[in-house]
Amino acid sequence: MRAYDIIEKKRDKLELSKGEINFLIKGYVDGEIPDYQMSAFLMAVYFSGMTDDECEILTECMLDSGEKIDLSEIDSVKVDKHSTGGVGDKTTLIVTPIVAACGVKVAKMSGRGLGHTGGTIDKLASIPHMETNLDKEKFFEIVKKIGCSIVSQTGNLVPADKKIYALRDVTATVESKPLIASSIMSKKIASGADCILLDVKVGDGAFMKTFEDAVELSKIMVNIGSRFGKKVAAVITDMNSPLGNAVGNALEVRESCEILKGSGPKDLREVSLVLSANMLCLAGKGTYETCHKLAENTLNDGSAFEKFKQMVEAQGGDISNFEKEDYASEAKIRHDVFAWDSGYIHAMRAESLGKASMILGAGRERKEDNIDYSAGILLHRKVGEKVNKGDILATFYSSDEYKCIDAEKIFKESVEISEDLPKLNKLIKARVTSQGIEKF
């Protein structure tokens, strides 16, 4: 078998066999197939796509490249969630304790942020002394005792994805649905949960820019999960503007605490409850309406917040700030941005706001960059709201005034203010399951 022939076959839109896909993935991970041939293959997939069978085989080959987590010693149903990535998306910090407070276990492995999107592990790392590099014994012990734990992905979880993703990142092949689906699903299946809820983001700040693309990606992922015997659903949610008001690690933890205490921004509460309800449904806790009510009760009675504090404490984190109003303001510099016009806010483009937050120090451009956990943006106004010239639109947090000046330029380009009332995007657009699609 030759890599050349496999690349040629995919270029010509022909279906590859299991032997061929395996040859390529294994050969690349083992260092026998060079980057330039793998790059050509990835670009061929980008243009030619893959059949459902090819997607399943690719996922299986990636899965077989590393460790699979066996959660069977944790009794009862285990449920996982994954977001395809967004700006201000802190829902994992909220839904994990909600679902655990409803009696369903969540043993969650998460990643760090890269580029304009944030990562759950960075948000947790902003909590003083919080440990996310736990060994398997400690991780399992916390899930058994508390009901949930969030840790960093082990180094050996789908090593094929690490190598291939790094190559996709520099060869303009990230935005390929079969490649995204196999990348995400191999990691989710390797993480061992019985049920997987996918939050597929759509819009300006997401990989999927159109609803049709988001539906197609959801269908591929749900299909892969079902073929591996998992209960999977995908909820398609809006990512045209940031979720909630906070972007940046410590700011997002504070906002998550607000939601868990029963207050906080309406959009974030709504998406968090919908995701939690869907996770509970997958875990067999009842109808969607029952599960939504169960989830809502945990915010109203404080049990989800209690669960979050227990989880953070069990992982060594300091929870003393969580009850305070303004604990996330350790950044040296606070810089207000004022409305330059009067009218309604029509757009706050998520991708640019993510970039502005990264410039302030909250994210990393390259894997090895350091993060300033206190940096970020707090929005005082959101899309659809009325502003008067001179009102504070946002506060930037950073260690450096020059960074604020650069970030303000990007922020101003990403916000549109206009006289007429804007049409608001629906937050929750559809649910895709193995039964089909429900549009909302």
Q: Decide if 332 is catalytic.
A: no
CB of 197 to ligand URA, least distance (A): 15
For residue 42, which of 66, 17, 6 has the smallest C-alpha distance? 6
Q: CB of 83: closest distance to ligand URA in angstroms?
A: 9
Q: Which is nearer to ligand URA, 225 or 265 (CB)?
A: 225
Which stretches within 16-132 are classed as H helix?
18-29, 35-48, 52-63, 91-101, 120-125
- C-alpha 243/C-alpha 402 separation (Å) is 26
- The catalytic position among 187, 227, 309, 403 is 187
Q: Which of 183, 256, 276, 414 is catalytic?
A: 183
By the 8 A CB rule, do 176 and 213 touch? no
Cβ(377)–Cβ(390) under 8 Å? no
Task: Let me know if 168 is a catalytic residue.
Answer: yes
Least separation, in Å, of the C-beta of 244 and ligand URA?
A: 21
Report the nearest approach of ligand URA to the CB of residue 163 (Å).
13
Cβ distance to ligand URA smaller for residue 17 or 39? 39
CB closer to ligand URA out of 180 and 393: 180
Choice among 168, 309, 335, 431 that is catalytic: 168
Residue whose Cβ sits closest to ligand URA: 183
82 catalytically annotated:
yes
Nearer to ligand URA, 84 or 91 (CB): 84
Interface ranges with ligand URA (CB under 6 A): 84-85, 174, 179-180, 183-184
- Alpha helix (H) residue ranges in 147-200: 159-170, 177-190
Residue number with CB closer to ligand URA (174 or 428) = 174
Q: How far is the CB of 301 from ligand URA (least distance, A)?
A: 35
User: Is 17 known to be catalytic?
Assistant: no
Residue 207 Cβ vs ligand URA, minimum distance, rounded to whole Å: 6
User: Taking the alpha carbons of 294, 298, 303, 309 in that order, is the dihedral positive or negative?
Assistant: positive
Question: Which two tokens mark 294?
Answer: 């169960």
Those residues whose C-beta lies under 8 Å from the C-beta of residue 266, and which sit 6 or more positions away, are none
Helix (H, G, I), strand (E, B) or coil at 149: strand
Tokens 């941005």 belong to 337
Which residue in the list 78, 81, 82, 309 is annotated as catalytic? 82
Long-range contacts of 180-185 (CB under 8 A, 24+ apart): 180/84, 180/207, 180/217, 181/55, 181/59, 181/217, 181/220, 181/221, 181/224, 182/55, 182/58, 182/59, 182/62, 182/224, 183/62, 184/82, 184/84, 184/221, 185/59, 185/221, 185/224, 185/225, 185/228
- Closer residue to ligand URA, CB minimum distance, 217 or 432: 217
Which lies closer to ligand URA via its Cβ, residue 180 or residue 260? 180
For 132, list phi and psi in degrees, rounded to 5. -115, -5
* 306, HSE (Cβ side, Cα atoms, 13 Å): 10
Please provide the DSSP assignment of 201-236 as one string: EESTTSSB-SHHHHHHHHHHHHHHHHHTT-EEEEEE
Rounded to a whole number of angstroms, the minimum distance from the CB of residue 240 to ligand URA is: 18
In this structure, what token pair is assigned to residue 14?
């022909």
DSSP assignment letter at 266 = H
241 is catalytic: no
> Which residues are known catalytic residues?
82, 161, 168, 183, 187
